[in-house]
Structure 1
Amino acid sequence: MATESTPRVRKAGAFDIRLIIALLTGVYGIVLTIMGATTTDGPEIDKAAGVNINLWAGIGLLIFTALFVAWALWRPIRVPVTPAEEPPAPE
């Protein structure tokens, strides 16, 4: 039970901006990885100095996404609970 000196907190959950960023970069990373692995051909690789840039950018985005999700899980944002948000005490 919370006292006056220790305010109650809860996790931000799905509204954590890091998870939203991870979702967007993850989707884009999956698309780039699939395109790099399946549809990138020789002339496109030659234009990029011999590097399959779609594949490497996709892998980099997926690593970035994994780091963001890990960060959000290890260090969740804690939001103070106001008295209006607290559920009523059982009788």
Structure 2
Amino acid sequence: MTFDVRLPIGLLFLTIGVLVAAVGLTGDPAVFRAHSAGLNIDLVWGLVMAGFGAVMLLLVWLARKGELPPPEA
């Protein structure tokens, strides 16, 4: 079994994404209305990062299952 860099990248982005999304969910809505044009940036980018991490982990799982070729060295 070779080292697949997608595993630590996926875990890192998933963990940080969940933390940032949690900050966005627990943040004060008045701050978002006053700044960033009413958009909850923490929640949006937390979900984007968590989604990217989930895709990386899915690719690792598919590669270990044999459905994808291993990454080139």
Q: 2:49 aligns with which of 56, 61, 86?
A: 61
Against the structure 1 CA distance between its residues 17 and 40, is the aligned structure 2 distance closer, same or farther, given a 3 Å change threshold? farther
Give aligned-pair identity as a percent: 27
Contact 2:7 2:60 in 1 (8 A): yes
Q: Matched residue pairs, number?
A: 66
TM score, norm. by length of structure 2: 0.76
4+ residue segments displaced more than 6 Å: none
Q: Which protein has the bigger helix share?
A: 2
Higher radius of gyration, 1 or 2: 1
TM score, norm. by length of structure 1: 0.62
Q: Which runs of 5+ in 1 are unaligned?
A: 1-10, 79-91
Q: Which runs of 5+ in 2 are unaligned?
A: 65-69
RMSD: 1.8
Q: Which protein has the bigger strand share?
A: 1
